[in-house]
Amino acid sequence: MKLDRQTAWKAVESRLKKERYEHTERVVKTAIELAERNDADVYRAEFASILHDYAKYRDREEMRRWILKDHRLPKDLLDYHHELWHGPVGALLVERELGVNDAAILSAVSCHTTGKKNMSMLDKIVFLADYIEPGRKFPGVEDVRKAAESDLNEACLMASRNTIRFLMSKNQAVYPDTFHAYNDLLTKH
């Protein structure tokens, strides 16, 4: 990976609204703390979290075209809320536009919203950092933050459970990877 920290920050700053950039700063700080606490790769945690929302504000039609065009992107994404698209499409665009070819970073960017079965340590860190960063205020987040202090897997399980419950309470579809993440975390816990 040739991308340096300063270039990564400039790349996301040019693509994000001010509030989302500030969110990204908090996600990075949280991801670094989680990586240090869990003896994980701090460098990768930092870069994946800098890049996690790279495609957040991409045009919906552009993202739809990428999903249809690229064989690596699951077509069933189109059957779910477009807010889920920016992770997988973002991983593709980070690779294409910024030259990031680190599979672990691309995976963490791709699944940061939904989670997935067999998440790596890095996947879990970025998924959880995005969920618990200090700017997040919603029911249950404090419990997940507390769990994250001592048990990354428990915190990810709680975050998945909360997400599923929230979507169900709104009568919204739940992307299958979120169920797979929950089931996998539950059986391994």
129 within some domain: yes
pLDDT at 1 over 60: no
Instruction: Provide the percentage of residues in the chain whose pLDDT is more than 90.
Output: 97
34 within some domain: yes
Domain range for 111 is 5-136
- Take residue 61 and report the two structure tokens written for it: 């039609």
Average pLDDT over residues 90-114: 97
Q: What pLDDT, on a 0 to 100 scale, did the predictor assign at position 3?
A: 79
Average pLDDT over residues 148-165: 98
CATH number at residue 50: 1.10.3210.10
56 within some domain: yes
181 within some domain: no
Query: pLDDT class for 189, splitting at 50, 70, 90?
Result: confident
Instruction: Provide the percentage of residues in the chain whose pLDDT is more than 70.
Output: 99
pLDDT at 188 over 80: yes
92 within some domain: yes
47 within some domain: yes
- For 23-82, what is each residue's pLDDT tens digit? 999 999 999 999 999 999 999 999 999 999 999 999 999 999 999 999 999 999 999 999
Q: What pLDDT, on a 0 to 100 scale, did the predictor assign at position 114?
A: 97
165 within some domain: no
Kindly write down the DSSP assignment for every residue of 117-160, as one continuous string.
TT--HHHHHHHHHHHH-TT--STTHHHHHHHHTT-HHHHHHHHH
CA-based nearest residue to 52, from 80, 79, 12, 22: 12
156 within some domain: no
